[in-house]
Structure formats: structure tokens, C-alpha cells
Amino acid sequence: MARILCTLYDDPAGGQPLAYPRDGVPDTELYPDGQTLPSPAAIAFRPGQLVGDLSAALGLRGFLTARGHTLIATSDENGPDSLFEHELPDADVVISQPSWPARLTAERIARARKLKLVITAGVGSDHIDLKAAAARCLTVAEVTQSASISVAEYAVMLILSLVHNALPTRASGRGIADQVRRAYDVEGMHVGSVGAGRAGFAVLHRLRPFDVRLHYTDPRRLPLAVETELCLTYHPSVADMVPICDVVTIHCPLNPETASLFDAPMIDRMKRGAYLVNTARDAICDPSAITRALETEQLAGYAADTSATCPLPLAGGSLAAQARAAAGTREILECWFDGVPIRTDYLVLDRGIVTKLGARSYRLTR
């Protein structure tokens, strides 16, 4: 029987909610690109409930116990004296969340003698040393698409909030003139997306009705018919795109090529008074460069859902995204335990072999 080590964020300060403002989340059958939603045999929670914390444990406790497996759930995920570090050598499966990642470094992977499967309960496996995982022939999976629409909606909200300077007037004690002196319309602006994958494309699609001029850059260019339909302008690199844009929104994975991508030289290439939105990973932006750009007003505004000091990605943490991530995690576990192939949409490494997802998102060599 397997030992499953799972890292989860702590329960709310007042405990698990006894009631919710809504009775659930809308039902959807397909993602926008036609991919089906997670389809486990069953789930042990009601979509719309908090499931990413310690008490809920992604709805996995009963399922794993019934199959004779052991679940070790902890929020003590990092540091040499953490419970995660203590339990890792005997773990067969590690489950982590983008919002509360247990970093699987090469050193930790070497200590995890029994480890075979690593699951990200969400999107983004940059907390894993994928080269070390490949060398160990591990399987690495993530619940692709689970948070993409949530992130896209959040990014659009941040863009509109920044441009309109939409902060509460009474709560902050500001007068009308104080608020509107920095408020603009997004209409007519040039908006560029760094990345046109699932989340990035969803942002471009949602911004089209705002009568903005849309730009994007991505290692893989979109079909001409799609560019024509959304009136998209393609740029071969970030450096080529940012001087044109009034707003830049980041939707690329964190990998060696994108780490500190938005440093001082890149920000200096941007149009003066541009806005920068980051709902990807905090390490894509250099915090000191962002601070300096805001102080000098090279940037008119910066918004993100994560930072090095507060690593809680709110964009991908909606109750709908949690439901999809939890259901996808159970689907992956069911397949693994039953000897059924895990769907290719989820696989980053398949027993050490780099998949299409791994090559595209994490620049691994196939």
C-alpha cells in the first residue's frame, strides 16, 4: 500500500465555513479548447466548497483510506525540520499545490527513495526539479486547465482596476479628484500578453470586446485564422512587443528562460506609464526593478496575485478552480493505482520521459 504525502494550506482562521454565499459553482462540460473536465469515478466534496486546506485534504481521505493507502497531509512543507522533510523518504506519492508548494529539489528527490509519482493539484510544476525527476524516472502530472479560466478572469480584473485606478474612495479617505486624476479608459490601448497558452489566450479572448488593440508573443504562434478573428498582432519576442504596449500581462510558465524576464532593462523598454500585470509566477519579475519603475513612474502601475513574501496565488484559487484541481488529482490517483494510463493532457513526465506538455511549458528536451 502507498504512502501519499500531501502539502496543503492551513484552514481558515475561523475553521471550515459552515455555509457559503452560493450553493455551488456553474456546471461546465468542456474547457474552451475542447478538453474535457476531470472525470474521476467519484468525488467526496461538493463543488463550491473549500477543498484545498488541511481539513478538506482535496477530498482524498476517504478514497485513499478505503483503498488501504495512508495519507499524510501537512502545511509544514519547507525547511530541514518540516514534517514534509521528515516524511519524504517513505513517500510513494507527493501531492503539492501551486498555492502552497513543497519544493522538490534535486536533493529532496535523491532522499525520496520510494517516490514514483508527483502530482501538482493545479497548474504549474516549477516547484519541482524536473531534470532530477526525469533522471529518477518519476512520473510528474498536473491538472492542466484547472485554473486557466480563473487566472484569465482575475487578470482582466487587475488590468481594469489598474487602468481605472479602481480603489475604494471612502475607505481610503480619498476625494473624487484624487481618484480620477490617475484613472483612464482601457479602450484604444495596446494590450500585450506574454504567452498565448490556455490562460493567455483566454485573456486575449475576453479583452477583445473592450475595443483594445491586442498583441501577443509566444514560442508557438497561433493559427492565422485565430489571429484574424481576434485582430491579434504577433511579436517574435517580449523585447519586440513591450515598447508598443500600454498594458502587458504575463501568462508564461516559470522556467530558466523566463526567470527574471522583467528586469530593469526589459522594463526600461516598456512605454512610459505602462501597466504590468503578473498572474503567472513572482520570479518572472525582478522585485527591485518593479519598485524602481514605480518610483520613477516608468510604470504607472503593477498588479500581481503572488509575491515572494505572500506566495498565495489568488487568481487560481477560486472555489471552481479548487474543485477542478481536486477532481483532477483524484482522477490521476485512480489511474495510477488501477494501472490505467494517465491522460496525456496532465503528464509533464511519464516515468522520466518528457511529454509534449513538459517540452512546451518547461523547456525540457524530449
The grid coordinates of residue 35 equal 478538453
Instruction: Assess whether pLDDT exceeds 60 at residue 101.
Output: yes
- Alpha helix ranges (H) inside the chain: 61-66, 83-87, 106-111, 130-135, 148-163, 169-172, 176-180, 198-207, 224-230, 238-241, 264-269, 287-296, 319-338, 356-362
Q: Determine the pLDDT at residue 313.
A: 58
Q: What is the mean pLDDT of the chain?
A: 94
Read off the CATH number of the domain in which 78 is found: 3.40.50.720
The grid coordinates of residue 242 equal 513591450
CA dihedral 120, 366, 137, 323 (to 10 degrees): 20
Structural domain range at position 333: 3-146+316-358
The answer to the question of residue 343 being in a domain is yes
Q: Report pLDDT digits (tens) over 280-290.
A: 999 999 999 99
| Cβ-contact 247, 163 below 8 angstroms | yes
Q: Report pLDDT digits (tens) over 147-186.
A: 999 999 999 999 999 999 986 544 455 678 888 888 999 9
Q: Are residues 74 and 168 in the same domain?
A: no
Identify the DSSP state of 221. P
Q: Are residues 211 and 135 in the same domain?
A: no
Strands 190-194 and 213-217: parallel
Instruction: Assess whether pLDDT exceeds 80 at residue 105.
Output: yes
Q: Report pLDDT digits (tens) over 125-145.
A: 999 999 999 999 999 999 999
The answer to the question of residue 95 being in a domain is yes
Instruction: Assess whether pLDDT exceeds 90 at residue 5.
Output: yes
Q: Determine the pLDDT at residue 69.
A: 98
| Cβ-contact 73, 96 below 8 angstroms | no
Phi, psi of 189 (to 5 degrees): -75, 155
Number of domains observed in the structure of the chain: 2
- Tell me how far CA of residue 248 lies from CA of 40, 70, 158, 159, 220, in angstroms: 37, 45, 11, 9, 18
The answer to the question of residue 104 being in a domain is yes
The answer to the question of residue 309 being in a domain is no
The pTM of this model reads 0.92
